[in-house]
A and B are shown apart, each in its own frame.
Chain A
């Protein structure tokens, strides 16, 4: 009897479920699952002497990636991402704190200052930096006019320039979760802390920081992961020692014309990302805070 009822319920629910969830599922399968499977399969394929992909199973692509040159670039990419994340925290935290805690209309203006660049194509913005920092750029022009330097300083094509570009592109991803976390902070907790004899610094480390660490955490993940793949930043601003994993992938698909190797690199990047997200979850991170 009971089973019959469940069956009936299932039937009556199937159609609405299909109608509501069906299209989304179809879209996800077509646009995410299928390409991902394609990339995964590709990473185990070989190429012939004319660089055509042949569907012949091999693990050679992965073996090649264990090479120290590749490993060095992974490490370098991680290093760039780490420094970028740290700078984003250091710059983004005070900024988010000010916007979140400002009561006046200034709050909206400050918030828009973060959001508006976010709406502009980042490629264009990065080219903007090139104009600003190049040897014939505005900054050098200004320095020359002020007679602070006698000849243009080469500011481009350095690892630092790549990091600057990364910070610039990714800092909104740090500020937004931080802003949410700080705004949620109950003001009476800060009053209570002060009331109990805590000076502002102690209140910060005892109350504000622990209660907003979730924001720092999700912001860091949101900055760190894209940083591994933002190849155009290091392409446009960076020099020889600022390649990220994204550059390797791009090169294999474009100039290298070795798609299976590029696919293997992509798979590794996905695995690294998944591991990081898993660690984030294990440490108690909130998936909703990531906007996924």
Chain B
């Protein structure tokens, strides 16, 4: 499998607004890649630059090994599924789907055959003569996908295509899209702000934050080994602790926090006296009635929230920070208000470089001098 889209050193600046910062990204053929981030992180702009609706301020974009940044959208072999669907309201569903082929001057008989096939694939047969206004949100979504896919693009760009659908339909469409992508073996570049959607569908996720890709990895890697504090907090729920590595012993680091020291497995690229962050998922957090070796945290049980299969415990540290701990429902629990000792297995927590660690280094240097 080769690289189908390569983005190199792309910047996009609107006036004084630096939306996309020095972006490098290469996308494999047949891959389902998600650009994930909150609104304003530059994910949609990136997609629009690949589609050709925006021109990068600097940098190059290659599709199928060919530079495209100066090409108009109609000259590019990529198609887009728009967030608002952008179906032509004055054309029937059939004419909407046939539009791309008509523009390419494909013979009428072939258009008919391919439109019928495509409508069957997205389960819309029988709706040929309807107008977009007569369709439900989910159906319009299918039309938008069919209209893009019928052109057999090498890359399909999807801009939050499921954003307007209700939760149940969204879940169903997620699976359907994934199935279509596998069946047709087309590269999907999918933009969403919904981390769950990204985890469910993607082969790889690029988590974007402030115009920069914070982490590009598989869903499991992103969830289990977030590279930055932003990724850790954006994907799923987590507990975050900022502290300083005060001891490294046998691959286990001791981090001194405001509320006491804790232990965590230490990768090789961390050093003593580094300012770092620990992320622990609620399902990996535990608490005991007695102090646990290597952990000096003391907390008070604040509340229990029942969410079906699990029970969420909220405990608060002396400085007021709240921790989320998940327990399987049905276990015996300490009373609300009682004291407990939060801990985790050293291997269950992730140690993350802190962006501001250099400040701490400076402070250390001063102290040592």
| A interface with B by C-beta (< 8 Å) | 186, 188-189, 191-199, 202, 206-207, 210-211
Distance in angstroms from A194 CB to nearest chain B CB is: 4
Q: Nearest Cβ distance between residue A203 and chain B, in whole angstroms?
A: 8
The answer to whether the Cβ of B298 comes within 8 Å of any Cβ in the partner chain is: no
Give complex CA distance A198, B104 in Å.
8
**Please, how many angstroms separate the alpha-carbon atoms of A214 and B353 in the complex?**
60
Among A189, A195, A197, point to the contact of B88 (Cβ < 8 A). A189
| Candidate in A192, A196, A199 with the most chain B CB atoms within 10 angstroms | A196
Q: In the bound complex, what is the Cα–Cα distance between A117 and B87 (angstroms)?
A: 39
Could you tell me if A196 and B89 are in contact, using CB atoms closer than 8 angstroms? no
Distance between Cα atoms of A189 and B90 in the complex (Å): 11
Determine if B72 is an interface residue (Cβ-Cβ < 8 Å).
yes
Query: Please, how many angstroms separate the alpha-carbon atoms of A290 and B358 in the complex?
Result: 68
Chain A contact surface mostly: helix
Given A210-B90, A211-B90, A196 contacting B84 (CB threshold 8 A) = no
Q: A197 near B103 (CB under 8 angstroms)?
A: yes
Please give the distance in Å from A210's CB to the nearest CB on chain B. Answer: 5
* B74, CB-defined interface residue at 8 Å: yes
Asked whether, in the complex, the Cβ of B74 is within 8 Å of the Cβ of A197, the reply is yes
Min C-beta distance of B223 to chain A, whole Å: 33
CA of A244 to CA of B39, assembled, Å: 60
With beta carbons under 8 angstroms apart, the residue of A198, A210, A211 that contacts B103 is: A198
Other than the given A195-B78, A196-B147, 13 more pairs (CB < 8 A) read A186-B86, A188-B82, A191-B53, A191-B73, A194-B52, A194-B53, A195-B51, A195-B53, A195-B148, A198-B99, A202-B103, A206-B88, A211-B89
Expressed in whole angstroms, the Cα–Cα distance for A133 and B88 within the complex equals 47
- Chain B residues within 8 Å of A211, by CB: 89-90
CA distance A195 to B87 in the complex (A): 12
Contact in complex: B82, A191 (CB < 8 Å)? yes
**Interface flags, B10-33, vs A, CB<8A=1, else 0:** 000000000000000000000000
Q: Is the CB of A192 within 8 A of B80?
A: yes
Which residue of B52, B53, B72, B99 contacts A196 across the interface (Cβ within 8 Å)?
B99
A202-B103, A210-B90, A211-B90 known; A195-B74 Cβ under 8 A? yes
Q: Which residues of A contact B72 (CB under 8 A)?
A: 194
A-B contacts, 28 listed (Cβ < 8 Å): A186-B84, A186-B86, A188-B84, A188-B86, A189-B86, A191-B51, A191-B80, A192-B80, A192-B82, A192-B86, A193-B99, A194-B53, A194-B72, A194-B74, A195-B51, A195-B52, A195-B53, A195-B74, A196-B74, A196-B79, A196-B99, A196-B100, A196-B103, A196-B147, A196-B148, A196-B151, A199-B74, A206-B99
Q: Which of A189, A193, A197, A210 contacts B151 (CB 8 A)?
A: A197
Distance between B114 CB and nearest chain A CB, rounded to angstroms: 14
A6 to B301, CA, bound (A): 64
A186–B89 Cα distance when bound, in Å, is: 10
B86 touches A191 (CB 8 A): yes
Contact A195 B90 (CB under 8 A): no
Chain B residue contacts of A191, Cβ below 8 A: 51, 53, 73, 80, 82, 86
A195 to chain B, nearest CB (A): 5
A202 to B52 Cα, complex, angstroms: 18
B residues less than 8 Å from A210 (CB atoms): 90
Asked if A195 contacts B80 (CB within 8 A), the reply is yes
Quote the shortest CB–CB distance from A215 to chain B (angstroms).
Answer: 14
User: B interface vs A, CB < 8 Å?
Assistant: 51-53, 72-74, 78-80, 82, 84, 86-90, 99-100, 103-104, 147-148, 151
Q: Which residues of B contact A195 (CB under 8 A)?
A: 51-53, 73-74, 78-80, 148
Q: Is the CB of B84 within 8 A of A198?
A: no
Specify which chain A residues have a CB less than 8 angstroms from the CB of B87 in the assembled complex: 192
Q: Which chain B positions have C-beta within 8 A of A188?
A: 82, 84, 86
User: Least Cβ distance of B103 to chain A in Å?
Assistant: 4
List the B residue with the shortest CB-CB distance to A199: B74
Residue of A nearest to B48 (CB): A191
Give Cα A113 to B74, complex, Å. Answer: 35
Q: In the bound complex, what is the Cα–Cα distance between A54 and B73 (angstroms)?
A: 74
Q: Which 5 A-B pairs have the closest CB atoms?
A: A196-B100, A192-B86, A188-B86, A197-B103, A194-B73
Q: With A and B bound together, what is the CA distance between A193 and B99 in angstroms?
A: 8
CB-CB under 8 A from B151, the residues of chain A are 196-197
Residue of A186, A192, A206 with most chain B CB atoms under a 10 A cut-off: A192
CA distance A199 to B75 in the complex (A): 9
Give Cα A207–Cα B88 distance, bound, in whole angstroms.
7
How far is A195 from B158 in the complex, measured between Cα atoms in Å?
A: 12
Residues of chain A contacted by B79 (CB below 8 angstroms): 195-196
> In the complex, what residue of chain A is closest to B73 when comparing beta carbons?
A194
**Measured between C-beta atoms, what is the minimum distance from B9 to chain A in Å?**
25
The residue in chain A whose Cβ has the minimal distance to the Cβ of B72 is A194
Residues on the B chain within 8 Å of A202, using CB: 103
Chain B residues positioned under 8 Å from A199 (CB to CB): 74, 103
Chain A residues with CB under 8 Å of B100's CB are: 196-197
What is the minimal beta-carbon distance from A115 to any residue of chain B, in angstroms? 30
**What is the bound-complex CA distance between A194 and B82, given in angstroms?**
13
- Counting chain B CB atoms within 10 Å of each CB, the highest count among A186, A197, A199, A211 belongs to A197
